[in-house]
Structure 1
Amino acid sequence: MPAVRKYRRETSEISCCLKYLLFTSNVIIWLTALVVLSVGIWAWTEKDMFRNISKLTFIALDPAFVLIILGTITFMLGLMGSVGALRENTCLLSAYAIFLSVLLLSEIGFCGLAFVLKDKGWIKDQATEGLRAFIKHYREDPDQQNLIDWIQEDWLQCCGIDGPKDWDSNNYFNCSSIAIGSREACGVPFSCCRRRPQEVIKNKQCGYDVRKEGYFTPQGMELSKIIYEKGCVQAGEEWIENNLIIISTVAIGVMFFQILGICFAQNLRADIYTQKSKWH
């Protein structure tokens, strides 16, 4: 009888658990980025930004542009990670790890810079300039308008930079605009108004005339009961102080998962090289 040969299947050096964990997580990132990118492109299309380049003056403050940039970067990252893991492509995995490392170092640098400059007013100055641009161009871009309305009404419950008077820098709300017939002159946007008890639909005209001299005298009402008098810069500082632990936890969590992604990619690359060395 011929001798029976026993064949032993060669074990792979590549961890399937590591490979598909990296692939699945990056597919989720890739799909999320695709949604964000699509929303940004749709918003630009609605504003006809692709044909009207002259509107790009304040592009850095355009929420749709920010979504496009974030979506593009995250899309590339997720694509490199998922395809690199699935196809066991060491070049893509290397690019993925480098990309994540650059992002991680940038985040650490930004956090360090923010900590160093927090007492020098640099961050406050940047926030002030950004809000000033939002207020000045409030009616020119619907996305910027919606963003500052969300900041004032839903997030910080504030009005203006240091207070309601800052809305004088907008042509529609400036008190001198009464002469040209602006109904919003000497007023503030509806997002500055406090919500009334049991109010379901907010009155969009609640901020009309509230900054007119003597407006509340005949009505016997106080400004603070109608609109927010606290500026958004002060409200933002207070919000950060009250939520510092949560912010720090989220930042550390994001960095932890980035480090985990770098380690997974590097370990998978090492496994692939080890497997290839067997073939040679």
Structure 2
Amino acid sequence: MREKRLTVFSPFRGREIGGDETSALLPKVNPPHLFCPSNVQGLSPNPTGEEEMGWPRKQARHWHPLQTAYHSLDSFSSCVKYLSFFWNLVFFVAGLLILAIGIWGLFHKESLASERITYLGSDPMLFFVLAGLVASTMSLLGCLGALFENTCFLKLLCGGIITFMIMEVLGAIIFFSLRHQIKASLQDSLTAAVLRYQDDADLQFIMNEIQAGLQCCGVESYQDWKTNLYFNCSSPGVQACGVPSSCCLDPLENGTILNSQCGFGTLGLEEFAAQSIIYLGGCVPQLSRWLDDHTGAISSYFVFLIVIEIGSLLLATKLQADFAFAKTRC
């Protein structure tokens, strides 16, 4: 009986191959442009002999589309990838710590209670919450974008960094241009804090922190506390002719427990006697001197922040370019 022949055309070589009709057909292979050859292990770039069909028969039956759907990076790009991941991971942890501090402050002062929720916008701890939330979210985008090679996350990170840099530069320009108006506004705010010291827990907290941190008392001098209803010398209370404990030189009085009455009666003393117990200078002059003395340090911190943001921006941009280049090789 005459043997029948089956003609097969190779999709890669375009040549005719003969074989028995009963022989096994060649496996169906996806078009080569759907694969990245550098990721296929054991593939010969120039098959010869029995591999003239384009793909080795033994390896073809083990291939799966998911195996070759990923692109590879060179060694330098891989280093940049993991450097970007750990870079963003550090700031992600730092953002979570800032967020935790802000949340702890809100719960500690009971600012989230239903009767005080209307004053939440003026709580200074809200700044820590927002700053930590933004920092951790942006850093998480950088971590996920680098680890999973997601260009969408990296683009969001770049957009956020550029937005913050523009806001910081504009803020610095506005602060320098309106520094005199800002000083007057700060003086008015501190005056209001002195008058309402016992009425608002947030103002009391801010005033105590400013006085203890800057080692000052009052707005222009310690005599400003006479305008407070409770500290006025004509007041019948125990706080009459006194100042807050944050004005004291040694509020602990060499102990471990704060003496809240260390400033009582100091407004009725002479300056020579009072200066051994409390700070006499006001907070506005002290703040002006502090800013003048620490201008270089503040500028260095600002430059350091900008450098960090530029570094994150360059890493994210480099990764996007590497991912795009690696896809073109597939």
Query: Is the counterpart of residue 193 in structure 1 residue 244 in structure 2?
Result: no
1:53/1:264 CA distance change after superposition, 3 Å: farther
Query: Is the counterpart of residue 237 in structure 1 residue 288 in structure 2?
Result: yes
Contact 2:214 2:287 (C-alpha < 8 Å) held by counterparts: yes
SS in 2 for 1:222: helix
Identity of aligned residues (%): 30
Query: Is the counterpart of residue 85 in structure 1 residue 143 in structure 2?
Result: no
Distance 1:248 1:76 in 2: 26
Which of 153, 156, 165 is 1:104 aligned to?
A: 165
Query: Is the counterpart of residue 148 in structure 1 residue 213 in structure 2?
Result: no
Which of 121, 125, 130 is 1:69 aligned to?
A: 130
Contact 2:252 2:259 (C-alpha < 8 Å) held by counterparts: no
TM-score by length of 1: 0.82
Which of 160, 164, 187 is 2:222 aligned to?
A: 164
Contact 1:64 1:143 (C-alpha < 8 Å) held by counterparts: no
Contact 1:188 1:210 (C-alpha < 8 Å) held by counterparts: yes
Aligned to 1:274: 325
Letter in 2 for 1:106: M
Contact 1:63 1:144 (C-alpha < 8 Å) held by counterparts: no
Moved more, 268-277 or 130-139: 130-139
- Report the RMSD for the aligned CA atoms in angstroms: 2.8
Query: Is the counterpart of residue 263 in structure 1 residue 263 in structure 2?
Result: no
1:130/1:84 CA distance change after superposition, 3 Å: farther
Distance 1:64 1:42 in 2: 9
Query: Is the counterpart of residue 206 in structure 1 residue 262 in structure 2?
Result: yes
Aligned to 1:228: 279
Aligned to 2:111: 49
Query: Is the counterpart of residue 253 in structure 1 residue 304 in structure 2?
Result: yes
Query: Which sections of structure 2, spanning at least 5 residues, go unmatched?
Result: 1-41, 47-70
How many residue pairs match? The answer is 263
SS in 1 for 2:129: helix
Query: Which sections of structure 1, spanning at least 5 residues, go unmatched?
Result: none
Q: Deviations over 1:214-252 (max 9, x none)?
A: x449xxx52222211111111111111111111111111
The structure richer in helix per residue is 1
- Measured after TM superposition, the shift of residue 6 of structure 1 is 5.1
1:136/1:276 CA distance change after superposition, 3 Å: farther
SS in 1 for 2:267: coil
1:70/1:132 CA distance change after superposition, 3 Å: farther
Greater RCO (CA < 8 Å, at least 6 residues apart) = 1
Query: Is the counterpart of residue 32 in structure 1 residue 94 in structure 2?
Result: yes
| Higher CA-based Rg | 2
SS in 2 for 1:15: helix
Letter in 2 for 1:250: Y
Distance 1:103 1:116 in 2: 20
Contact 2:112 2:120 (C-alpha < 8 Å) held by counterparts: no
Q: Deviations over 1:91-144 (max 9, x none)?
A: 1111111111111111111111122223xx112023224433443443456565
TM-score by length of 2: 0.71
Distance 2:195 2:45 in 1: 77
Distance 2:248 2:127 in 1: 28
SS in 1 for 2:243: coil
Distance 2:229 2:114 in 1: 23
